[in-house]
Structure 1
Amino acid sequence: MSSFASLGIAAKGLVAAQRAMEITGQNISNINTEGYSRQRVEQTEAVVSPNGRFGVKNASGQGVEITGITRITDTFVNATARQDQATAAQLTQSDQVWNQVETNLGEPGTQSLSARMTANWNAWSALGSATGATAVASAKASVVATSGAVAEKLKSLDSAVAQQWGGLTDQAGAVTKQANELVGQIGELNLAILQVKNSGASPNEIMDQRDLKVAQLTKLTGARVTDRPDGMVDLYVGNASVLSGTNAKAMSVTTSDTSPAAAAAMSGFDKAKAGYTTWAVKVDGMTVQPDSGQLRGVLDGINVTLPGVGNQYDQAAVTLKNQVNAVYGTANGGAAGDFYSFTQTAGAPATAQGAAQGAAASLKVVPTSATLADSSDAGSVSRDVAAKVGVLGEATDGPSVAWRGTVVSIASAAQSADLRSTLADDVASRSAARRESVSGVNLDEEMTNLVSYQHAYAGAARVLTAMDQALETLIRGTGRVGL
């Protein structure tokens, strides 16, 4: 091998060390860049062929060759981290829904339904033992007032959950819009990666940007990712494709309405409580349900959680009405009529649960303090009916006990949602840390590499200097014989 070839070997060493230092600098400068994956220069020894016209035997080789720049990632670790983030987002959304329900419930509290029901039973009991015209009149006014407060609280609870449901439907549209924007951006990055790869350059930085967008999309929709041989990715939400290479398909939130004509006047929330409507994602005419992600949590709140809570409020109103009316109806020889009434939701299904729909929103007190009956005999002043209504608060199957069961059910569901969310967040954090341990930049490691590459560069430079001096000696010190 000629001395000039040795210069080439040294020059290749300089280039390789310089490129390695550049990549190390790239890693260090992006240590705080979200989604950045550290890179590494791949190099191999250049071998001289011993065969052929220009073959050289017993040669040391032709130095070093850079074969590429590797992006340090683990497909399985990344997929696990994305899925764990999607699950955490779904459960966090569910936790937020239940937390708001529990907050609106206001139990325990001085203005809670439990407190108002207790005050109402006390008012009935006070009427049952009242004597004297003034005391009776005051007790009757208290019964009507506290009963009205109970009805108003149920109406307030129903209104709060209906407003929360409406807010979730708006949120579903907003999340879907954001997801569509991300799909479009990922499609554009797919195209950029393909173009860069076809040019022979490295698309590592663009792939990092795309993976960050994919992670954001997965957190929203639980999207699944499939890698393609050309460097692009395909995306699926549920069982529908939302991105194939650069071809993006828009998602939309739609409702399926199976309500009869008689239910035309029902609100969207009433239809949800009746089971007439289901909200879902539609892609290219196909109805899908996201596997996880924030959007799944929103849809679960719209389709399951809040309609179920609304039905519980309606059932509480029905229980209160039925049990109070059953006792109150015995007053005046059975001619007292109803104490509570409500308007059945038009078009609601004729089922045990459906019959309750509209009760919480329309529950009202029928008699006034002047027309309120309190005794089984119209001519009696025993106030036995009032006393019997008063002890409903202590009955094991009374309205208060039934309501406490509802409160416990909601509190238990909220606590469970909070626990699941906390555990999912912990799992997601561990997955993110695992991904960071693989792809993240370690400053100590990079500084160690930088010193190593610096020494390699200095060594290659020293070889180049030595070969240059040898050639200079050869050229200047020869060719003088015979002069």
Structure 2
Amino acid sequence: MSISNSLSNALSGLTAAARAAEIVSSNVSNATTDGYGRRVLETSSATVGGRGAGVEIVGVRRDVDPQIVADRRLADSGVAAAQVTADFYNDLQAAMGLPDAGDSFVSRVSKLESSLIEATSRPDSDMRLAEVVTAAKDLVGKLASVTDAIQLSRSRADQRIAQNVETLNSNLANIADLNGQIRLLAASGRDASGLMDQRAVLIDKVAEIVPVRLVEQEFGQVAVFSTNGAGLVNGTAAEFGFTPVGQIVPEMTLTSGALSGLTLNGQPLSTSGEYAPLAGGGLAALFDLRDGLAVEAQRELDAVARDLIERFQDPAIDPTRIVGDAGLITDNGGVFDPVNEVGLAARLQVNALIDPDQGGALWRLRDGLGASAPGSVGDSTLLMTLSDALTDTRSTASGRFAGGTRSMSGLGAEVLSFAASELQSARSAESFANAKGATLRQAELEGGVDIDQEMQMLLQVERAYAANARVVQTMDELLDTLLRI
């Protein structure tokens, strides 16, 4: 081997060693950086005319386990969806209150029951009658406050959907832009790993909103699809459309057209069901909350309100009422019509005829809503009838508990038990999703940058650099010797 060849080989070794040291330092400094893929220098022996010509740098490989990353992203989607559901049922239970809480729905029913019993024992006491009115107003007020909480959850979900769609569109556009930049670098033989890291971070953010799968393409590009096949990025970025509303009330639904659905590139996109194009992530969970879970919860609450109003609307309870007049509890001041059940829980009111705050008189609780003048102050017949109407078991007309016979307090307990059961299931799903995500993130980290391994690699690089430097020094000394001859 000639002196020039020896120098060329050693210089190529020095170049490769310097590049390897640079990569090791990058790996160490980014060991905890989100989206960073460990770099590996790829080299091969160089030849010229069939003879060895040192070492050639082939390129820099971004070393990640695509399957673990894909599984972790799916887990992130599951965590986001589970959190949405668990948070909703937690808020619902808090709004309804636990049975032993003084302001819970069940406690409010019990308070009305006890106030009627106390009034029965002293029908002449205006104080006892006033307690009945107050307890009734507290009960219908509780139903209204739970309705407000449910509709607030729907409104917040609607706003979060809008935010997610905006974030999704921005990230998808940036991914498509990075794909183009990566293609240019890779086609020219330059290292695009840094841009790939940026793209990985964006894909992670998208995965929390929509579960994704990737398809590798030429020159380092990737196509992004939802797990159910919706195209998100394939050359160009998809564009989602959504129009949020302000305040949501029970009557507003997606079917009625009062709420916005989701569009993909201008075309309507289904958001419900296991096989919906975007099913499985945080965005689908928000639609499910707004259009499914919360609607179902409101339906159960309205069924309770219907049961309550119909107990006192029975004409047989108060013979002084004219047929068609409202009972003790009214639908916004009037008679309840079964075809108008949606949102009933928010419309319940105590009959103005017995409420002094609305110009009514307390004695009508004792003497009848249709009575024109006070009767015997010792007559507790109507109060006993009202008490029996509240505590008697009757067939529930609507909701998931329709057909069963329950007292008012029993029905309230059933609905609360339903909310608690759903919350427990949602929390279990959330715990499982979090545990799965944590396990996969740990596996991803273990397959990423290992500081000990990098330090060992740095020692090898130092030895290689020193060896090549020694060759250069030896060749220099040899040339000096030849020149002095």
TM category, shorter: 0.7 to 0.9
2 CA distance for matches of 1:295 and 1:44? Answer: 47
Specify the alignment match of 1:143 in structure 2: 132
Structure 1 unaligned residues grouped into runs of 5+: 51-55, 256-265, 478-483
Structure 1 residue aligned with 2:148: 159
Bigger radius of gyration: 1
Unaligned runs of 5+ in 2: 272-277, 355-361, 394-405
CA offsets 1:356-394 (integer angstroms, 9 cap, x no match): 213211112224123224689x97755234224335565
TM superposition shift of 1:224 = 3.3
Which stretch of structure 1 is more off in the superposition, 305-314 or 162-171? 162-171
With over 3 angstroms needed to count, the CA separation of the structure-2 counterparts of 1:169 and 1:232, relative to structure 1, is same
Shift of 1:305: 0.9
CA contact (8 A) 1:235 1:244 kept: yes
In structure 2, the partner of 1:269 is 250
Identity over aligned pairs, percent: 24
Distance 2:248 2:81 in 1: 27
Correspondence 1:52-451 to 2 at 5 A: 61-108=52-99, 109-130=101-122, 133=124, 135=125, 137-237=126-226, 239-245=229-235, 247-253=236-242, 269-272=250-253, 280-288=261-269, 289=271, 290-326=278-314, 329-332=316-319, 338-342=327-331, 355-366=340-351, 367-368=353-354, 369-373=362-366, 381-391=378-388, 394-395=391-392, 397-438=406-447, 440-451=448-459
- Rounded to whole Å, the distance in 1 between the matches of 2:113 and 2:411 is 15
Structure 1 residues 76 and 344: alpha-carbon distance in aligned structure 2, compared to 1, 3 A threshold: farther
Moved more, 229-238 or 179-188: 229-238
Q: Does residue 1:457 correspond to 2:447, yes or no?
A: no
SS at match of 1:156: helix
**TM-score scaled to structure 1, two decimals?**
0.84
Counterpart amino acid of residue 239 in structure 2: A
Aligned residues: 448
In the alignment, the residues of structure 2 paired with residue 220 and residue 451 of structure 1 have an alpha-carbon distance, to the nearest angstrom, of: 43
- Do the aligned partners of residues 399 and 12 (structure 1) sit closer, same or farther apart at CA in structure 2, a change above 3 Å counting? same
Alpha-carbon separation, structure 1, partners of 2:78 and 2:259: 22
Moved more, 71-80 or 155-164: 155-164
Hey, what's the Cα distance between the residues in 2 that align with 1:426 and 1:468?
61
1:94·1:297 contact (CA, 8 Å) conserved in 2?
yes
Matched letter for residue 271 of structure 1: M
Distance (whole Å) between structure 2 residues aligned to residue 119 and residue 339 of structure 1: 16
CA contact (8 A) 1:168 1:301 kept: yes
Structure 1, residues 65-106: CA drift from partner, whole Å, max 9, x if none? 222111111221211111111111111122122222222222
The 3-state SS of whatever aligns with 2:252 is helix
Match of 2:401 in 1: none
Deviation at 1:165, TM superposition (A): 1.3
TM-score (norm 2): 0.84
Instruction: Name 1:259's counterpart in structure 2.
Output: none
Change (3 A) 1:344 1:120: closer
Is the alpha carbon distance of 1:391 and 1:371 closer, same or farther for their aligned partners in structure 2, counting shifts above 3 Å?
closer
Give the whole-Å Cα distance in 2 for the aligned partners of 1:155 and 1:182. 40
Deviates more, 1:103-112 or 1:386-395: 386-395
Q: Distance in 1 between matches of 2:261 and 2:254?
A: 16
